[in-house]
A and B are shown apart, each in its own frame.
Chain A
């Protein structure tokens, strides 16, 4: 087994990071924990914490920090997973949807509008209910299922006055009638590692919202879609979210700093073990490329 010095970018150690750290240490790898809140990134040279690492794992909780930190790693020539390119696509729902659409992956019909009036037109064209999402965000936060024109007008007014320019990018999506659950697949370079169904009476079925989780067996179609979805965002360690739509699937998003604690609890697969297997392989590949 190759010995690896792994840099872990973080700002909070969730149970996910703890599982990962424990697995790395059990295999006697060196771990450099890098708290991005206290680190400084020079445009000229890497900080001391990154000098000796073979590979960096981005586990930043904050999307903005994740994007910049991975870009700095790219600039320093230090291998980082997931790549900045993957992070850039996954961090933004507009880019995420465009990538899925352009790759021919079924994804919910989506309109983007830049003013309240054009957003209201988009909402009316979808009919009710439809969904309004922030372009950056996670865990189901600030997601709105819009059931009426009155609600649409109120929510658009609120978003337009929230202040941040991103709230004036209105991401409007069809409401997909799913069977009370969606499917989270953790995939490594397009290969499913484990999958779970997340069930809830609420329209939001995020595990972070308290949805119940259970192991889910992927069929050939789902496996194929996971591969395509992963490829179109640049691959890596990803959380691919699918909904069952009729007798097929639709992929609504791909997450690049995927949480896996709920999945690890729900399935028999050793998820952190599989992730570290992959990191060892990636590090070995990078080392052989450098020495070749």
Chain B
């Protein structure tokens, strides 16, 4: 469990989170990037860019 940087609500995380993974805040809907795992640290995820894709 850690705190959403957007709204401050608790965000529940899986046990196997990875740095670079994106999680959604179920309270405010913000996309959050996992920037640390021990302890878990979240930051706002980058906005979609035009050249993203597959």
Contact = CB atoms under 8 A, between A and B. Distances in A.
Interface of A: 10-14, 17-18, 21-22, 33, 35, 61-64, 134, 136-139, 141-142, 164, 239, 255-259
Contacts of A64: 51
B50 A137 contact: yes
B15 interface: no
A259 B53 CA distance: 9
Contacts, number: 60
B48 to A, nearest CB: 9
Contact of A62 (B21, B45, B51): B51
Interface residues of B, number: 16
B19 to A, nearest CB: 7
A134 B34 CA distance: 31
B20 A33 contact: yes
Interface of B: 16, 18-22, 33-34, 45-46, 49-54
B20 to A, nearest CB: 4
A22 B21 CA distance: 13
21 contacts: A11-B20, A12-B20, A12-B22, A12-B46, A13-B21, A13-B22, A17-B20, A21-B18, A62-B51, A62-B52, A63-B51, A63-B53, A134-B50, A137-B50, A137-B53, A138-B53, A138-B54, A139-B54, A142-B50, A255-B54, A257-B53
Nearest to B14: A18
A29 to B, nearest CB: 16
A17 B34 CA distance: 14
Contact of A18 (B21, B33, B54): B21
Contacts of B20: 10-13, 17, 33, 35
Contacts of A134: 50
